[in-house]
Amino acid sequence: MKSKYRLTAMIVVVVVGAVALIQSMKPEPKKRGAPPTPAINVQAQTIRTDSFTFTLSSFGVVKPRTQSLLQSQVSGEVVWLSSQFREGGFFSRGDVLVRLDDRDYRAKVQTAKANVLSAEQTLVEEKARGEQALQDWARLGQANKAPSDLVLRKPQLAAAEAKLMSAQAELASAELALSRTIIKAPFDGRVLSKKVDLGQLAGNNTQLAEIYATDYVEVRLPLKQKDLPFVTLPEQYREGATKATEPVVYLESTLYGKPEQWQGRIVRTESAIDSNAQQLYVIAQIDDPFSQQHQNKLPLKIGQYVTAKITGNTLAAQIRIANKALYQNSYVFVVKEGTLQRRDLTLAWQNDTHSVVAKGLENDDVLIVSPLGQVVSGTKVNVVELDGQAVEVKSKRRERQDDGNIKSRSQTTQGGQS
């Protein structure tokens, strides 16, 4: 019985020992850290300061330099019209555009000429009578006594001279009225609208046509206050001194379906700021817009809407970035030691496509230009394109394969040495 208990005890001891031996030989599990966060592939641009010419955007409507109503100054029937007296017709200064019936005015001129001849005859007669009166006075022995003006017929002579002057004035008036039956162009221009036709009776101050000058056209362009420091505008002062700078402006229109561009210049600024929009208006001028030098493009039209690009000042050492790199117009992301960092910016100027940075970026900073989602500073990034050039980036899988190949080659080498 005792031997039975001893056997059982020995079996228990052996089993416990075997379990303890197995537990002591169990390999310890390797501790692993948190899985690595995948890096974001981004496109980037190296910041470089450079000189930059500011281009200011605006818009306006084409207007003529001079636009006026052509009116008749006398009455009469329209008996002749120029072939260019039509909407869109061109004319030069001094060209005859309209003729009125002048027969009545020619008759008045002839009557006035007859009156002048009659007055001249009366004046000659009065001069002769005065001379005869002076001779008669001397013959009567009154030479030692001065004759009166009435004796010498001076009042009658003055009346004859006045009558002649009046007749000459009537002749000049009749000739002027006759000349006004021929309506001539006051400047080089074009007909905007025609208001009379052949056979129509035109009265005094009747509107014949609306015309405008063609030597140049103007466009009134508003400029925002934030753009004014970046352009030098022509100004005029009371003493007559002016700033001679006339910035170049490019006007563009898509009226005919395709972009057409004209080059002009800013010739003056207005004297007041628009109180509603708080904008300054400048005047752009396009010289000779209807000449053959523009025959490769469709001509400008009065009232045509155009957009404008005004060439501003050129400043050195400017940092310019694309607006697509901006977030909320206030910050960007840069790459620093393989991680993403946020930079708050102060902008000096901005247009539809680019911004000029006053503060927040420096030379050689690597700016992220590709769009990002919800990211935070410190996120790892891989730059796959820098300054428009592709950058080779190894993937994590490729790195693990390379590490495995290196370990395999190392173990093989060690086995061969042993």
Report the alpha-carbon distance of residue 46 to residue 164 in Å, rounded: 93
Domain limits of the chain? 41-51+317-390, 58-64+214-315, 74-101+181-213, 102-179
pLDDT tens digits, 68-122: 999 999 999 999 999 999 999 999 999 999 999 999 999 999 999 999 999 999 9
Provide the CA 57 distance to its chain's centre, in angstroms: 6
DSSP-assigned beta bridge partners for residue 96 = 184
Q: C-alpha distances in angstroms, 299 versus 284, 303, 336, 377?
A: 17, 12, 54, 55
Model pLDDT, residue 91: 94
Q: Which residues contact 127 (CB under 8 A, 6 or more apart)?
A: 157, 160
Q: Which residue has the tokens 């493009």?
A: 297
Evaluate if pTM is beyond 0.75.
Answer: no
Asked if CATH classification 3.20.20.10 holds for the domain at 74-101+181-213, the reply, yes or no, is: no
Model pLDDT, residue 36: 63
Comparing CA positions, the residue from 327, 328, 240, 257 lying closest to residue 297 is 257
Quickly name the fold that domain 41-51+317-390 has: 2.40.420
Q: C-alpha distances in angstroms, 2 versus 6, 7, 136, 315?
A: 6, 9, 204, 110
Report the alpha-carbon distance of residue 167 to residue 155 in Å, rounded: 18
Q: C-alpha distances in angstroms, 220 versus 62, 355, 405?
A: 8, 26, 73
Model pLDDT, residue 56: 94
Q: pLDDT (tens digit, 0 to 9) for every residue of the chain, 418 residues total? A: 556 666 677 776 676 667 776 766 666 655 565 566 678 899 999 999 999 999 999 999 999 989 999 999 999 999 999 999 999 999 999 999 999 999 999 999 999 999 999 999 999 998 888 888 888 777 777 666 777 778 778 888 899 999 999 999 999 999 999 999 999 999 999 999 999 999 999 999 999 999 999 999 999 999 998 899 999 999 888 877 677 789 999 999 988 788 888 999 999 999 889 888 889 999 999 998 888 776 677 778 899 999 999 999 999 989 999 999 999 989 999 999 899 999 999 999 998 889 999 999 999 999 999 998 888 888 899 999 888 888 876 544 444 444 545 444 444 444 444 3
Please, what CATH class does the domain formed by 58-64+214-315 belong to? Answer: mainly beta
